[in-house]
Amino acid sequence: MIKTKADFLDSHRRMHKRIFMFGEELESYIDHPMVQPSLNAVAMTYELALDPAHAELLTAESSLSGKPINRFTHLHQSTRDLVDKIKMQRLLGQCTACCFQRCVGMDSFNALDVITFQMDQELGSSYNQRFRKYLAQVQGENLVVDGAMTDPKGNRKLSPSQQADPDLHLRIVNEDEQGITIRGAKMHQTGAISAHEILVMPTRSLSDKEKDYAVACAVPADADGIIYVYGRQASDTRKLEGGKIDVGNYHFGGHEALIIFQDVFVPWERVFMSREYQYAGSLVELFAAHHRTSYGGCKPGVGDVLIGAVQAIARIQGTDHASHIQDKLVEMVHLNETLYACGLAASYEGNPSESGTYRIDYLLANITKLNVTRFPYEIARIAQDIAGGLLVTMPSEKDFNHPEVGPLLKKYLVGSHEYPTEWRQRLLRLIENLTIGAGSIGYLVESMHGAGSPMAQRIMLARLANMETKESYALKIAGLSETN
Ligand SMILES: Cc1cc2nc3c(=O)[nH]c(=O)nc-3n(C[C@H](O)[C@H](O)[C@H](O)COP(=O)(O)OP(=O)(O)OC[C@H]3O[C@@H](n4cnc5c(N)ncnc54)[C@H](O)[C@@H]3O)c2cc1C
Ligand code: SF4
């Protein structure tokens, strides 16, 4: 069982993944400076579970084995569990200021448990039993699982079966007594390199012409036929420069990768949906609802770090006394806490499914995510306002260390003389990281598109808003209901 950071890194030393980055296949990824910050961020999900101050939040009692497990592998058994998940994500956001990569898997488990249970009840299949057996192993070994939903999708106007290339959505290409073979790709995979397992799910609702695309299954992350291509992030090569300041967040960072499945064999015991196209849509919706709510935990956690950095830079630059600065900081707090409030509300309004696993409130989950598509951008805008132009014109760390210009930079780029220039340098780099650098991928663009672009939430809101009931309230108050 993986318990410590060292166990986690050792588990990866035993894996043989094919990873491409900058046009080359990596020989090893554990010690690669581009990958290390991501592994450090995931390792925090193990380290905090061992910390007596946080163990209660980071662990739960397994509904499958009755044993203590890491909460990232838990099936939520109550609204308290849903709330604790959000609190755990905020804590991890505060401790890493980046994506800690384990929530997509956790949200996938909770969606798959509910939907496979429903499938078994209606179809007489045994997918839920299979899935729970698999999950018990994940819990027992404390594994990191990548939730792989998003297909490349090709021409968005066309359904999977209408695409010029049928592989643009991942599909079953063969089936025999031992299992199935899948081909395709999954895009934007959060923490793919940090994962031990990949949990594949369909990307959208499907018709009876698209049965081969209705597939959910688990694959070891280093299975034969899997290729990873590491995604670039803004300012990513600063990690290769050898310094500690210009990266902004030296210890932690997230990553995404494209995963290509070149005819990967999956034994039946790891298959949890195989052509039952009529359940693809509800699986996507439930996963998305859980993950949309997750952002009400992690983004406010990262927001706390950004707000803290802005508060500090205002003090260092001598603007903290100004009423407009104080008001802008209050506005950042207001936006940040609104996201958290939404995440908590969706959790408190959760409800039990037939399988016993708790579902999140769909309407409030989508409200959470729609706010997440906007508020971090506004928080980032205010951060850049208060930070000033040096945020984007500051010379490099190497210049600060140069024998001739270094002292000049320290002289001219100082803020308030109570603070060394390096404080200003470090805090501006952190704000840069989170608002336009590598950290902005997780804090901003992922807030826009992760778990579905804003229109996907609007479609759900239109469906869930129950406008007829609202209209009936109005008609009654206006004295019109009797006359209709
Ligand atoms: C940083 C990051 C991390 C992610 N992590 C994961 C992960 O771990 N696992 C995972 O499975 N996925 C992950 N995703 C994927 C995420 O769910 C998708 O980005 C999201 O669903 C949008 O899909 P897309 O990127 O293909 O954009 P598109 O779907 O192409 O959307 C782009 C725009 O086109 C619009 N659009 C799309 N289709 C149509 C249409 N038919 N008609 C009209 N307008 C349309 C959208 O509304 C949007 O405005 C991640 C994404 C990001 C950015
Ligand atoms: S974006 Fe947030 S919710 Fe999603 S995996 Fe990263 S930290 Fe978790």
- Using one digit for the tens of pLDDT, what is the confidence trace for 39-62? 999 999 999 999 999 999 999 999
From 3.40.50.720, 2.60.120.590, 1.20.140.10, 3.40.50.2300, which CATH number describes the 283-472 domain?
1.20.140.10
Residue list, ligand 1 pocket, CB within 6 Å:
104, 147-150, 153, 156, 186, 188-190, 256, 441, 445-446, 449-453, 455
Q: What are phi and psi of 75, to 5 degrees?
A: -95, 120
pLDDT at 467 over 60: yes
The torsion angles phi and psi of 320, rounded to 5 degrees, stand at -65, -20
Measured between alpha carbons, how far is 190 from 450 in angstroms, rounded to an integer?
A: 9
> Ligand nearest 99 Cα, by number?
2
Cα(254) to ligand 2 centroid in Å equals: 9
Ligand 2 pocket, residue 190 CB under 6 Å:
yes
**What whole-number distance in Å separates Cα of residue 111 and Cα of residue 202?**
12
Atom of ligand 1 nearest to the CA of 441: 1
User: In this structure, are residues 135 and 113 in contact, taking their beta carbons and an 8 Å threshold?
Assistant: yes
For residue 170 and ligand 2, the question of a CB distance below 6 A is answered with no
| Distance, first Cα to last Cα, the chain | 66
Ligand 2, atom 6, residue with closest C-alpha: 99
* Minimum CA distance residue for ligand 2 atom 7: 99
Write out the DSSP string of 242-260: --SSTTSSSS----EEEEE
Is residue 163 within 8 Å of 147, Cβ to Cβ? no
Structure-token pair, residue 336: 């940040």
Task: For residue 225, give every residue at least 6 positions away whose Cβ sits within 8 Å of its Cβ, in sequence order, or none.
Answer: 261, 262, 263, 264, 265
Residue 287 confidence (pLDDT) above 80: yes
Ligand 2 centre to CA of 191 (Å) is: 9
Look up 25 and say whether it is catalytic. Answer: no
Q: Looking at the predicted structure, is the pLDDT value of residue 483 above 90?
A: no
Q: How confident is the model at residue 265 (pLDDT cuts 50, 70, 90)?
A: very high
Closest ligand 1 atom to Cα of 186: 11
What is the percent of the chain with per-residue pLDDT over 70, rounded to a whole number? 99
Nearest atom in ligand 2 to the alpha carbon of residue 101 is 5
What was the pLDDT predicted at 170?
A: 98
Q: How far apart are CA 57 and CA 88, in angstroms?
A: 6
CATH ID of 5-276, from 3.40.30.10, 3.30.910.10, 2.40.110.10, 2.40.40.20? 2.40.110.10
The answer to whether residue 95 is catalytic is no
* pLDDT score of 198: 98
- Please name which of 12, 372, 441 lies closest in space to residue 192, comparing C-alpha atoms: 12
pLDDT tens digit sequence for 449-461: 999 999 999 999 9
* Annotated active-site residue in 190, 293, 368, 435: 190
> In this predicted structure, what is the pLDDT of residue 240?
97
**Which two three-digit tokens encode residue 269?**
């015991």
Instruction: Check pocket membership of 298 for ligand 2, CB cut-off 6 A.
Output: yes
The predicted structure's pLDDT at residue 482? 66
Residue 24 DSSP SS3: strand
Q: Which residue, judged by its Cα, is nearest atom 4 of ligand 2?
A: 103
Contact 329, 361 (CB under 8 A): no
Q: Determine the Cα–Cα distance for residues 264 and 184; give it in Å rounded to an integer.
A: 9
Give the pLDDT mean for 239-264.
98
Residues 6+ apart with CB under 8 A from 62: 68, 69, 73, 74, 136, 139
As a whole number of angstroms, the distance between CA 152 and CA 133 comes to 30
Decide: residue 395, CB within 10 A, 0-12 exposed, 13-18 middle, 19+ buried: middle
Give the ligand with the smallest distance to the CA of 100: 2
**E strands along 72-221, which residues?**
145-148, 171-175, 179-190, 197-200, 215-220
* Predicted pLDDT of residue 481: 84
Whether 380 and 443 have beta carbons less than 8 Å apart is answered as yes
> Looking at the predicted structure, is the pLDDT value of residue 202 above 90?
yes
> Which among 194, 233, 216, 197 has a CA at the least distance from the CA of 272?
216
List pLDDT tens digits, range 130-189.
Answer: 999 999 999 999 999 999 999 999 999 999 999 999 999 999 999 999 999 999 999 999
Residue 424 tokens, joined = 């200003």
User: Quick one: pLDDT band at residue 478, thresholds 50, 70, 90?
Assistant: very high
Residue 484 is predicted with a pLDDT of 53
Residue 348 has pLDDT above 70, yes or no: yes
Q: Which letter does DSSP use for residue 396 in this model?
A: P
Catalytic residue among 213, 295, 358, 443: 295
Q: With 90 as the cut, is the pLDDT of residue 281 above it?
A: yes
Distance 98 CA to ligand 2 centre (A): 8
Mean pLDDT within 71-76: 98
Domain boundaries in the chain? 5-276, 283-472
- 296 ligand 2 Cβ < 6 A: no
- Residue 287 in contact with ligand 2 by CB distance below 6 A: no
pLDDT tens for each residue of 312-329: 999 999 999 999 999 999
**What is the average pLDDT score of the chain?**
97
Looking from the CA of residue 148, the nearest atom of ligand 1 is 11
Q: Tokens 């992760």 belong to which residue?
A: 450
